[in-house]
């Protein structure tokens, strides 16, 4: 009778299922020990959840395996003997998880069934990614703080908890809410993500193992032997429940939180009481999108039946209440293997180490590379080549290695050593200026890597927008294979390229996934093909299109040409400002540093960098060669620019349908607006596209005018008053004057 969930005799369970069950159970217990006691898990949450689900699946099929000591029946966790044991007055339970809409519906249906005609509400809360704590207050005084442990017994961390500023040692009784005789407060202690990196830097510097992620550092910080160490850690708390209580009554969990807040406890800001499961799903969807505008990490949403008497009626299993469920978002942290650390040479010669990892799917995409910024960061993170590492990709954010899983090391790992010479041209690396952490290749003119990156950038959409000049073409023009010399040894000859120069150029064929050269199966030699010519030696479309494009772009607006020169610190926005002010490249070259610095949107750093750039002979030669080739370096007074938006400060966030991010900035700057990256009270307009994130939230908080694509078009075409009118607001002069005076 296998497989129908009714197997009661262990002898009927196939041997391989029994064995798998026992292996899984042991593995899960091991992981729990590492997670809860050692603060050093070796698998990601997602991997752990998958093991649990497999175990649950087996027990679903063969109920006889569901014994009281199975991990599915116990609250995850245990306690170490480094701290005194404390018995909780009331048990601390865990939560069942829902990963799909169906699982959530099934929970909702069960609640509805059990509660029949009773009216009830759902309380939606964020699932704080931290470590659970139980605080006991007697007559308002904090007498004990303990970790969850196995749910019945935890570790006494009272002395450490007393160092957390947010946790009151004494409850307040003002406002008419007398403090109770006894209350157990349950909540989550968390460690802010932004401060995590600093902690690991300090730990590695002190010769300690780095923490793999912020949650482990919360738990590790809370469980320090010396409370003075805990006191140095930026720990915070959010309250999410009540255990034992005496001397007060509560009807709903949401009302209980109001009381706890009045007593001075840190309650959550984002909770919401709703009536239907559809509204619960809206809450889940909202925070799925705004996961990162919350002050702490969240890994899901906890849905609770709000009415306390109904919670009692629904009851609990041995490990979790039936009146609550945890919706889990897809993981943003995964474990993967660090295969290598390589060094990339950028457009300005900066050498950046980057991680090459076993490809993993995280937060919606497959990740294989992550920048490590510089050699100090590699050291500070404490990662070794060969380590299993925790990789985090938060939504659209750039993937980042958080730290190594130290316990999985087998001794074969090795340290990354920053090369002393440029990996592409062999020139000795050095910092650009004293105290600079970044190492650079000083061979700016002809280091093939720097030249390739500069040409690629110059041809990019932010600059000359040369369609036929992509990355492979840029490589082909700067690094053709021996014995031929590359046609470009700097960017000076770009506009003089001829078809005769292009036809012989060959490139190595690379694997699209790995970037490694492909090899001939027989000879083992690298595969090489002509890039601009076909098999008959005739020009391919890539060649004719490139030459045509190069003719066409000679009349591009001055700002795009300036941006394309790869002058340090001069991006498209500064280039716009310079073009608008000087209208002629020769006038920029002739301007003093002071004159440049006085330009709105330029400033002393950029000015110094421009002066330095023009002081190099080979840079001025590039300009002369381009001039001889017919590139235009001047711009008429009215060309595209105007002062329609002069004096306005605008922030652009999210993806617009009408413009690229840079295109939008360019359109604003050419009309005299200042474009900044952060929203403040001084911002006049916030232009918001798809998936805008926290800047939009901040704009709403500050009550700033928010424009969508349509409003943005009005701003660009008709100016600020029309854009405000489009939003139904009075003109800025009207309210601007009054605020200015007050």
Name the residues that contact ligand IVH, by CB under 6 A.
93-95, 125, 127-128, 132, 188, 240-241, 302, 321, 324, 326
The nearest distance, CB 211 to ligand IVH, in angstroms, is: 18
Beta-strand relationship, 122-128 and 685-688: unpaired
Q: How far is CA 176 from CA 140, 242, 647, in A?
A: 14, 20, 52
Indicate the residue among 70 and 336 with the shorter CB distance to ligand IVH. Answer: 70
Indicate the residue among 301 and 559 with the shorter CB distance to ligand IVH. Answer: 301
The nearest distance, CB 92 to ligand IVH, in angstroms, is: 7
Gap between the Cα atoms of 484 and 531, Å rounded = 14
Indicate the residue among 152 and 506 with the shorter CB distance to ligand IVH. Answer: 152
The nearest distance, CB 158 to ligand IVH, in angstroms, is: 18
Indicate the residue among 148 and 454 with the shorter CB distance to ligand IVH. Answer: 148
Spatial CA neighbour of 128 closest among 234, 238, 214, 5: 238
Indicate the residue among 297 and 438 with the shorter CB distance to ligand IVH. Answer: 297
Q: How far is CA 512 from the centre of its chain?
A: 25
Indicate the residue among 287 and 685 with the shorter CB distance to ligand IVH. Answer: 287
Indicate the residue among 148 and 452 with the shorter CB distance to ligand IVH. Answer: 148
625 in catalytic set: no
Gap between the Cα atoms of 470 and 473, Å rounded = 5
Spatial CA neighbour of 200 closest among 213, 189, 219, 187: 213
What 3-state class would DSSP assign to 178?
coil
Beta-strand relationship, 153-155 and 333-345: unpaired
Indicate the residue among 61 and 73 with the shorter CB distance to ligand IVH. Answer: 73
The nearest distance, CB 133 to ligand IVH, in angstroms, is: 8
Gap between the Cα atoms of 543 and 540, Å rounded = 5
Assigned token pair, 214:
């912020």
Residue holding tokens 């457009």?
Answer: 347
The DSSP H or E segment spanning 342 is strand 333-345
Gap between the Cα atoms of 480 and 465, Å rounded = 23
Q: How far is CA 640 from the centre of its chain?
A: 37
The nearest distance, CB 241 to ligand IVH, in angstroms, is: 5
The DSSP H or E segment spanning 700 is helix 694-702
Inter-axis angle of helices 709-718 and 661-669, to 10 degrees? 20
The nearest distance, CB 324 to ligand IVH, in angstroms, is: 5
The nearest distance, CB 513 to ligand IVH, in angstroms, is: 37
Given a contact cutoff of 8 angstroms between Cβ atoms, the answer to whether 124 and 283 are in contact is: yes
**Among 6, 38, 74, 127, the one annotated catalytic:** 127
Nearest to ligand IVH by Cβ — which residue?
A: 132
> Which residues, 6 or more positions from 286, have their beta carbon under 8 angstroms from its beta carbon?
none
> Which residues, 6 or more positions from 395, have their beta carbon under 8 angstroms from its beta carbon?
291, 292, 332, 363, 364
289-298 burial string, b = 16+ CB within 10 Å, else e? ebbbeeebbb
The nearest distance, CB 334 to ligand IVH, in angstroms, is: 19
- Catalytically annotated residues: 127
């Amino acid at each position: 009778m296998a497989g129908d969930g009714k197997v009661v005799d262990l002898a009927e369970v196939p041997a391989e299922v029994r064995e798998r069950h026992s292996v899984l159970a042991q593995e899960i217990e091991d992981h729990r020990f590492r997670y809860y006691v050692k603060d050093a898990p070796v698998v990601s949450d997602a991997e752990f959840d998958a093991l649990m689900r497999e175990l649950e699946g087996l027990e679903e099929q063969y109920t006889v395996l569901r014994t009281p000591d199975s991990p599915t029946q116990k609250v995850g966790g245990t306690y170490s003997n480094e701290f005194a044991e404390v018995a909780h007055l009331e048990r601390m339970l865990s939560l069942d998880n829902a990963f799909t809409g169906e699982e959530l519906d099934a929970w909702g249906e069960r609640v509805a069934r059990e509660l029949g005609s009773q009216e009830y509400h759902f309380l939606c809360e964020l699932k704080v990614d931290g470590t659970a704590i139980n605080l006991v207050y007697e007559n308002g005084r904090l007498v004990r703080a303990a970790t969850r442990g196995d749910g019945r017994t935890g570790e006494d961390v009272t002395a450490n908890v007393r160092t957390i500023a947010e946790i009151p040692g004494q409850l307040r009784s003002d406002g008419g809410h007398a403090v109770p005789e006894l209350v157990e407060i349950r909540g989550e202690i968390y460690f802010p993500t932004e401060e995590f990196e600093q902690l690991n830097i300090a730990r590695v510097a002190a010769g300690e193992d780095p923490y793999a992620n912020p949650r482990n550092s919360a738990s590790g910080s809370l469980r320090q032997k010396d409370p003075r160490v805990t006191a140095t850690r930026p720990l915070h708390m959010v309250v999410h429940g009540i255990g034992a209580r005496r001397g007060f009554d509560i009807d709903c969990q949401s009302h209980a939180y109001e009381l706890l807040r009045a007593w001075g406890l840190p309650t959550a800001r984002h909770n919401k009481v709703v009536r239907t499961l559809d509204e619960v799903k809206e809450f889940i969807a909202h925070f799925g999108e705004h996961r990162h505008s919350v002050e702490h990490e969240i890994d899901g949403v906890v849905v609770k039946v709000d009415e306390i008497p109904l919670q009692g009626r629904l009851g609990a299993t041995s490990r979790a209440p039936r009146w609550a469920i945890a919706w889990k978002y897809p993981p943003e942290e995964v474990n993967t293997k660090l295969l290598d650390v390589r060094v990339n040479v950028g457009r300005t010669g900066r050498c950046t180490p980057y991680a090459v990892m076993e490809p993993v799917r995280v937060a919606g995409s497959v990740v294989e590379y992550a920048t490590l910024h510089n050699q100090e960061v590699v050291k500070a993170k404490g990662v070794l080549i060969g380590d299993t590492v925790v990789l985090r990709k938060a939504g659209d954010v750039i993937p980042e290695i958080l730290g190594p899983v130290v316990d999985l090391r087998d001794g074969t790992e090795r340290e990354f050593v920053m090369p002393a010479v440029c990996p592409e041209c062999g020139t000795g690396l050095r910092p650009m200026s004293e105290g600079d952490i970044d190492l650079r290749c000083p061979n700016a003119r002809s280091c093939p890597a720097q030249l390739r990156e500069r040409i690629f950038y110059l041809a990019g959409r932010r600059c000359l927008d040369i369609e036929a000049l992509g990355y492979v073409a840029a490589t082909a023009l700067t690094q053709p294979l021996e014995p031929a010399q590359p046609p470009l040894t700097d960017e000076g000859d770009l506009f003089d390229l001829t078809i005769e120069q292009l036809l012989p150029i060959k490139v190595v064929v690379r694997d699209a996934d790995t970037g490694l050269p492909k090899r001939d199966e027989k000879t083992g030699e690298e595969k090489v093909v002509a890039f601009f010519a076909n098999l008959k030696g005739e020009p391919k479309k890539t060649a004719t299109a490139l030459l045509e494009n190069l003719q066409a772009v000679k009349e591009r607006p001055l700002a795009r040409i300036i941006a394309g020169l790869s002058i340090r610190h001069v991006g498209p926005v500064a280039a716009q400002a310079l073009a608008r002010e000087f209208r002629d490249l020769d006038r920029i070259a002739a301007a003093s540093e002071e004159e440049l610095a006085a330009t709105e949107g330029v400033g002393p750093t950029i000015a110094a960098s421009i002066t330095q750039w023009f002081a190099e002979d080979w840079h001025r030669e590039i300009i002369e060669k381009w001039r001889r080739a017919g590139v235009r370096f001047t711009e008429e007074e009215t060309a595209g620019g105007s002062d329609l938006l002069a004096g306005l400060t605008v922030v652009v966030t999210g993806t617009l349908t009408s413009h690229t991010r840079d295109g939008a900035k360019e359109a604003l700057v050419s009309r005299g607006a200042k474009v900044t990256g952060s929203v403040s009270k001084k911002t006049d307009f916030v232009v918001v596209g798809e998936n805008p994130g926290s800047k939009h939230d901040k704009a709403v908080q500050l009550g700033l005018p928010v424009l969508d694509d349509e409003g943005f078009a009005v701003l660009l075409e008709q100016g600020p008053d029309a854009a405000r009118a489009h939003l139904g607001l009075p003109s800025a002069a009207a309210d601007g004057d009054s605020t200015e005076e007050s």
